[in-house]
Structure 1
Amino acid sequence: MAVRQSTLRLALGGALLLPTAALAADRTIDSEAGPLRVTTVTDDLSRPWGFEFLPDGAMLVTEKAGTMRIVGQDGKVGGPIAGVPKVDAGGQGGLLDVALDPDFATNRLIYFTYAERGEGGNSTAIGKARLSPNGRALENVQKIFTQMPKYDGPNHFGSRIVFDREGHLFAGFGERSDNRIREKAQTLDNHLGKVIRIDRDGSVPEGNPFATREGAKPEIWSYGHRNIQGGALNPETGAVWFSEHGPKGGDEVNIVEPGQNYGWPLVSYGVNYDGTPVGTGKESGEGLTPPILHWTPVIGASGMAFYTGEAVPAWKGSAFFGGLATRELVRVKFDGPKPVAEERLLQDFGKRIRDVKQGPDGAIYVATDDGAIMRVAPAT
């Protein structure tokens, strides 16, 4: 059942200090938690796609065209980090997500996804590198995974990276959009429309559901996905959640379980862009795992973060989702895996929200397609 915008009265959870006096408040907005201050950390980026907070509070940011930068706590944008591999930045492709190794504090390793060109077209790859101590270069850059097959198309590369509690790397990939290729989301001899699980060196860990099946790609964890652009680890259960774009209707949030088929393109809560039915024309089917949440009309779900901070205690149990299509930040309150209420924020800013993170200060930060990172926190 889809969750619509609803009323959820929240108590304000206390004061929050700004990380630096250099940040000027853009606007104070109303919310169900009381007044929020929305502050622009920087608007000097070029199409940021993913970002992560470093231990010192700075942000490591990817820009779609192929640049990686560090944004300081003062909002200053650093120069391009050397060593980023060449990316295929056409259409929806480019330099995409970035994630820190679970042991980054001691090994300074990072992981990133990007569209690469090769024989037969392009696809999404996962790179691994060490961020130099001064943050100016990537060292010992390795490609640890390549989505197969390559396909000559501009759309649906995905992708997001999530680490589970055991340190396995999960990544979600698109099915490349076109009718003639998207059916491969239902077969196991490829990585299109799949979530994969690998170890941090790119090898296949024990327990992957199709590792011993003849003809199947051993990295596959789940299948039947459309275009995954949000993901996070549930802090209460340790489960990996991914969000994906629907067609005309039917954005989904899924808890990815081993070996499960999430239905695309056999079923969908939406329809094709020309109005024709998707697959069977049904929303569900026997043997297919339904989403725990879907949106029709779509929000263009991109970026996802569970809230665990102390700045707004009543936000705990909520997840935040970026909306590319609706240009807003969507907060969903969950009772276990069940969505129970929804609130929509930042609509008046009119920005396509690409990624969402909780900061070390307990605020919510969003990256927008027009080059900004904004901070959302209590106004008091």
Structure 2
Amino acid sequence: MRKALGAAAVAAVAIAAAVALAQGSPNGTPESAMQDGALSSELVAQGLEFPTSMRFLDKDNILVLQKSGEVKLVSKGQIHDIAQFDVANGAEQGLLGIAVAPGEPADVYIYFTKNATSGEELRHRLYKYSYDRDNRALVNETMILDLPGEPGPYHSGGKIAIGPDGMLYAAIGDTNAGGGVLDNEIGGREPDDKSVVFRVNRETGEAAEGNPFSDGRLQRYYAYGIRNSFGMDFDPVTGKLWMTENGPDKYDEVNIVNPGFNSGWHKVYGPMARSNATADDLVMFNDAHYADPAFSWQYPVGITDIEFFDSNMLGEKYENNVFVGDINYGNLYFFELDKERDGFKLEGELADLVSDPVGDDPHDLSALIVGKFDGRITDIETGPDGRLYVLTFLDGRIYRIS
């Protein structure tokens, strides 16, 4: 039986596979295939190297991060150099997350693992820049967050987003370190900026007004108990934050992240009823709450990005509903929200909100998969043209779904 990879193994396996592709894969040229006959995919750009995240500047220009530290501009199919960051590039470290606040000039936020010189502590940094269109450059650097990176090299998080409230949201995993109250170790290390979702003022990095916790150590936190996440997005109808989370050897998740959410790591992953834990085993700060995932994969698929498709260009079925990608198989999943928009409309074997595939047969996932990408998926975005864009890691491509 083929076992799906846990998040900790994804990066190393993906890089090894990418090297094989570069040398000439026996499987031939990487491609995409849409399972929904109403959809088609076309290649927008190729030639990127291990891209992790992308954001649109406008309808013709996309900023793309490469894991090893390069920021690229994809403009009408051409790739241009923008910036080079000095990053630690182990496993899940590197140039990881980007957000863009439209304007002239546009504000660009970048999350990365700062390379440590001798005697330095490894850190994750989140900086703000202005984008200089004339010179294709990031200028006016301002540090917004300075976060821990050790012991690493796994669970760095890094996905960031600007909420409908104008605040900056950033996810960091446990950095491969357990034993803290933020990952539900009762009596463990005091809060140390790991395993959390930050919600901060995007100009200063200070705690945003209305955050759920009043304790000074917790004021910048929006949620905690996070093992690791490669995706977050906001429901365009309700404004609620949703995010993906990667399990160890079981239970990748999609979660609704309301203010004060405790995702349960490392005591709970997947539905609580399937674990040996109860709410009494969790560290619950004032105004915190736990909730089961909106959906779980019992055997991890290396879940990555989540995208609410805020467009009607693919038809009524897809508008304001959810796409999710994975890096183990390159599957593009589609979920329709229920009437209350606090869960998914699922039937049959998926009605229990858990995928339980047997062996190599993803029998209860076929209803969710609308596309497959040989290059594996790291990011999904709705473009200004109303189409869906998919970023693939192994072959360094951007596809447009129409």
Q: Verify same fold: TM over 0.5.
A: yes
Q: Is the 8 A contact 2:59 2:385 kept in 1?
A: no
Question: What is the total number of aligned residue pairs between the two structures?
Answer: 332
**Contact 1:170 / 1:197 at 8 angstroms: preserved in 2?**
yes
Q: Shift of the alpha carbon at 1:359?
A: 1.4
CA–CA separation in structure 1 for the residues paired with 2:121 and 2:154: 12
Shift of 1:63: 0.6
* Percent of aligned positions that are identical: 28
Q: Distance in 2 between matches of 1:283 and 1:40?
A: 46
- Contact 1:175–1:181 (8 Å) recurs in 2: no
| Correspondence for 1:35 | 38
**In structure 2, what is the Cα distance between the partners aligned to 1:106 and 1:166?**
20
What does 1:75-114 correspond to in 2, within 5 Å? 75-78=77-80, 80-82=81-83, 84-101=84-101, 104-114=102-112
- The 1:30–1:232 alpha-carbon spacing in structure 2 relative to 1, beyond 3 Å, is same
Is the counterpart of residue 54 in structure 1 residue 54 in structure 2?
no
TM-score (norm 1): 0.81
Residue 364 of structure 2 corresponds to none
CA distance 1:375–1:263, change in 2 (3 Å): same
CA distance in 2, matches of 1:251, 1:183: 22
In the TM superposition, what is the alpha-carbon distance from 1:351 to its structure 2 partner?
2.5
Distance 2:278 2:237 in 1: 28
Corresponding residue number in structure 1 for 2:279: 285
Q: Do the aligned residues in 1 keep the contact of 2:222 with 2:259 (CA within 8 Å)?
A: yes
| Alpha-carbon contact 2:112-2:125 (below 8 Å) kept | yes
Query: Contact (CA 8 Å) 1:182, 1:265: kept in 2 or not?
Result: no
Deviation of 1:237 after TM superposition, in Å, equals 0.3
Tell me by how many angstroms 1:173 deviates.
1.0
Matches within 5 A, 1:172-191: 172-178=171-177, 180=178, 184-186=182-184, 189-191=191-193
- Aligned-partner SS, 1:159: coil
Give distance in 2, aligned partners of 1:167 and 1:221.
Answer: 14
Quote the offset at 1:374 in angstroms. Answer: 1.2
Q: Secondary structure at the match of 2:104?
A: helix
Gaps of 5+ in 1: 1-25, 271-277
Residues 1:356 and 2:380 are matched in the alignment: yes
Alignment partner of 1:226 is 2:251: no
Question: Which letter maps to 1:195?
Answer: V
Describe the shift of the 1:372–1:257 C-alpha distance in structure 2 as closer, same or farther (beyond 3 A).
same
What's the CA shift string for 1:164-201, capped at 9, x where partnerless?
A: 222011111111234x4576523661111100100012
Instruction: Return the alpha-carbon distance in structure 1 between the equivalents of residues 295 and 33 of structure 2.
Output: 30
The answer to whether 1:152 aligns with 2:151 is yes
1:325 alignment partner in structure 2: 328
Question: Are the aligned partners of 1:172 and 1:242 in contact in 2 as well (CA < 8 Å)?
Answer: no
Matched, 1:245 2:246: yes
- Kindly report the root-mean-square deviation, in angstroms, between the aligned alpha carbons of the 2 structures: 2.3
CA 1:363 to 1:92, structure 2 compared with 1: closer, same or farther past 3 Å? Answer: same
The change in CA–CA distance for 1:132 and 1:35 in structure 2 (over 3 A counts) is same
Distance (whole Å) between structure 1 residues aligned to residue 151 and residue 198 of structure 2: 22
Question: Given the two structures, how large is their TM-score scaled by the length of structure 2?
Answer: 0.77
Q: 1 CA distance for matches of 2:141 and 2:321?
A: 36
Residue number in structure 2 paired with 1:142: 142
